Amino acid sequence: MMQTGLPIVPRKFCKNGHKPKAHHKSLFISDLHIGAKGCRIDAILAFLRENTADTIYLVGDIFDNWQPIGRKWSPEHHEVIRILIERFEAGSKIIYTPGNHDAFFRQHYGTYFETVEVVEQKIHVAADGKSYLVVHGDCCDVFVGRARWLFRVGSAADGLVRGIDGAIKAVRRALDLEEWDWIERTLLRVNRMVRYGDRYEERLCSLARRAGADGVICGHFHEAALHDEHGITYANCGEWFDSCTAIVEDESGGFKLLSMRRPDVAMVAGQEGLSDEAAEVAG
């Protein structure tokens, strides 16, 4: 049996009898970064409790092994694992494509409990017959390939800043002040500035074409997106620090990008990208 080093999940944190409000044919979620500073475990829990699917894709960086997980592990973290266990016990198929922050699981490719599959990448065939390459995306990141040390330094700095942000928010909540997201928006703009001209979307779409797919579904870059600007569908699940987004497929094979931060923001496959307002939320 695979040894993960994660805390054992006690049954007492399982909320039995709760029926999710939405069921999808497929659900794609990435970059939860469970264990990292700034991880929105509350939003993750709320989303998983209300959404289920025939197939659930965990598109990498679900855990953050770059930081000591145990120090920040809580009953809410246990509950996330319990919900996922309940999903595959109820019949959902779970496909896990590890990323660079949970690369430990790349040592354990295979099928577990008959319905949990750990793979580097997967071809997903949608209800309409179109195929999509599902991969975390770090394989197309020039920073990971050429300056891994710089990537780790940036991740550590991001964690430090988010720790400060969390402390400021706690103080503001105690003083009953309005929500403050200046640091979140600043980090978003810095990420976009660093990635400006990177063309990672094109590299991922080229990877999908070489696999004979009609599109690619990925994570890693913390920039939620759903469009066809490169000739095939490019879908990025986003992340769960700021935007709190996921991709879902309906019974007809259509895709939507959902945001927990803004439930009214739902981008549909085929649109030409996110509007300015939606980009601020889902980016």
CATH number for position 65:
3.60.21.10
Query: Is residue 122 situated within a structural domain?
Result: yes
164 falls within a domain: no
Tally of domains within the chain: 1
Asked, for residue 239, whether it belongs to a domain, the answer is yes
- Could you tell me if residue 85 is inside a domain? yes
Surface-to-core class of residue 25, CB atoms within 10 Å of its CB (0-12 exposed, 13-18 middle, 19+ buried): middle
pLDDT at 191: 63
9 lies in a domain? no
Instruction: Evaluate whether residue 174 is within a structural domain.
Output: no
Nearest-10 Cα torsion for 142, 188, 221, 23 = 180
The one-digit pLDDT tens for each residue of the chain (283 residues) are 344 444 433 333 334 556 788 999 999 999 999 988 778 899 999 999 999 999 999 999 999 887 777 677 888 989 999 999 999 999 999 999 999 989 999 999 999 988 899 999 999 999 999 999 999 999 998 776 555 545 555 555 555 555 665 565 566 666 666 665 656 666 666 566 655 556 899 999 999 999 999 999 999 999 899 999 999 999 999 999 888 999 999 999 999 999 886 544 444 554 444 333 333 333 3
pTM of the model: 0.75
Domain span at residue 244 reads: 23-143+192-282
Contact between 139 and 97 under an 8 Å Cβ cutoff? The reply is: no
Cα–Cα distance for residue pair 81/151, rounded to 1 Å = 28
Residue 172 lies in a domain: no
Beta bridge partners of 95: 57, 117
Q: How far apart are CA 65 and CA 61, in angstroms?
A: 9
For residue 12, the 8-state DSSP code is G
